[in-house]
Amino acid sequence: MNILGIETSCDETAAAVVKATNNVIQVLSNVVSSQIKLHARWGGVVPNLAAREHLKNIFPVLHETLKKSEMKPENINLISITNGPGLIPALLIGTEAAKTLSLFWNKPLLGIHHIEGHIYANFIRDEISANPKSRIPNSERISKSKSQTPKIKFPVLCLVVSGGHTQLVLMKNHLQYRIIGQTLDDAAGEAFDKVARILGLEYPGGPAISVIAETFEIRDSRFEINLPRPMLNRNNFDFSFSGLKTAVLYEVKKNEKMLQDKNFIIAMSQEFQQAVIDVLISKTLKAAREYKPRTILLAGGVSANKELRRQLTEKIEKNLPHIRFQAPEIGYSLDNAAMIAAAGYFRWKKMDSSEKDKAFSNWKHLQADAELRLK
């Protein structure tokens, strides 16, 4: 079946068409219009500005994705839309566009939790993300993507790390979520963004800090920075990152002139990134020992962090070699609509025929919900 996914929960206007057959998700087109430059001057996403941009971009993005997928509206079998959580002005643009298309095209409509989408980004396996410019015709892609699709075995433990969420989610099977731990304050991505701001780096902070930390391997020994590893030894699976951000602020306040020293910024970026990674890995391994999953997944925008991927892979291989680890392809780590379409496919598959019939009238009922819960 062919699924149109739409995502507007934050600062990306995204639409994608995927073809799903026997649990294999093949991406036919994946268009993301990012507003990063617009929000960078404010140091974060401004909800009403985001909504205005979504409004401007939503139909061009939809048009482009349909064109690239070589699909006509009549070939679309399902519309899948992020209906929360996120910024309400932003969510409303996507949900209203999706509801309108559902009504006028007479297609079923499903609302997807944004984090569910991030988790299901792990079920996308094809070469379009590895080489977005590839001109392989859609008809030839499926056999290749099938052979590349590794089977994700349940139970799954998923480390979700994004700008709004940091959670450990246990899944006994598809679409069954149990949150066994989460951040008590800031999300990991939010901490990256706030620390970058303290250091005078650009928004979003995750890519800015990770590039600096990666580029310069050797740390300047003049800067002996030791940040805390919050909640590391607590006997639970929760996280806390706001104290870590404050610790960075205290270090900077000791001597603000250090912000002019590139070597200080490098040392601080490396130490901060490592503090976040240490806590994320330690809690994930602890949860894996207790809940014994067959697969560990990584999800959310922070999963684009190469050092986190590398160290998590290494630690799982060394300490829990019987567990398979997987992260989404980099092209599907950050917000996109292919992941929303993928999650929609797995939801659709689980529905009985009367639920599927009802989905045709979801254009009347679907609501954007800033606080939507994962269930």
Residue numbers at the binding site for ligand KG4 (CB under 6 A): 10, 162-164, 189-190, 192-193, 204-207, 210, 300-302, 304-305, 334-335
Helix, strand, coil shares, percent, the chain, to 5: 50, 20, 30
C-beta of 304: minimal distance to ligand KG4 in Å? 4
In Å, what is the CA distance from 13 to each residue of 20, 90, 150, 193, 343? 22, 9, 29, 20, 18
In whole angstroms, what is the distance from residue 19 CA to residue 29 CA? 10
Which residue in 236, 274, 335 sits closest to 11, CA to CA?
A: 335
DSSP string, 258-275: GGG-HHHHHHHHHHHHHH
In Å, what is the CA distance from 74 to each residue of 70, 78, 284? 12, 10, 44
Verify binding: residue 162, Zn ion, rule CB under 5 A.
Answer: yes
CB nearer ligand KG4, residue 162 or residue 167 = 162
Helix (H, G, I), strand (E, B) or coil at 8: coil
By a kind-dependent CB cut-off of 5 to 8 A, residue 334 interacts, out of Zn ion, ligand KG4, none, with ligand KG4
Count of helix runs (H) and strand runs (E) in the chain: 14, 10
CB nearer ligand KG4, residue 214 or residue 238 = 214
CB nearer Zn ion, residue 251 or residue 335 = 335
By a kind-dependent CB cut-off of 5 to 8 A, residue 120 interacts, out of Zn ion, ligand KG4, none, with none
Verify binding: residue 271, Zn ion, rule CB under 5 A.
Answer: no
Lookup: tokens for 224: 């002996």
Question: Residue 246 has what DSSP assignment?
Answer: H
CB nearer ligand KG4, residue 64 or residue 307 = 307
CB nearer Zn ion, residue 85 or residue 230 = 85
In the block, residue with structure tokens 């999953």 = 293
By a kind-dependent CB cut-off of 5 to 8 A, residue 111 interacts, out of ligand KG4, Zn ion, none, with none
Verify binding: residue 335, Zn ion, rule CB under 5 A.
Answer: yes
By a kind-dependent CB cut-off of 5 to 8 A, residue 206 interacts, out of Zn ion, ligand KG4, none, with ligand KG4
Helix (H, G, I), strand (E, B) or coil at 28: strand
Question: Taking contact as CB under 5 A, which single stretch among the options 13-21, 63-71, 80-88, 155-163 is the one that binds Zn ion?
Answer: 155-163
Site string for Zn ion, 90-109 (x = CB under 5 A): --------------------
By a kind-dependent CB cut-off of 5 to 8 A, residue 302 interacts, out of Zn ion, ligand KG4, none, with ligand KG4
By a kind-dependent CB cut-off of 5 to 8 A, residue 192 interacts, out of Zn ion, ligand KG4, none, with ligand KG4
In whole angstroms, what is the distance from residue 234 CA to residue 100 CA? 48
Size of the chain, expressed as the number of residues it contains: 375
CB nearer ligand KG4, residue 164 or residue 230 = 164
Residues that bind Zn ion (CB under 5 A): 162, 335
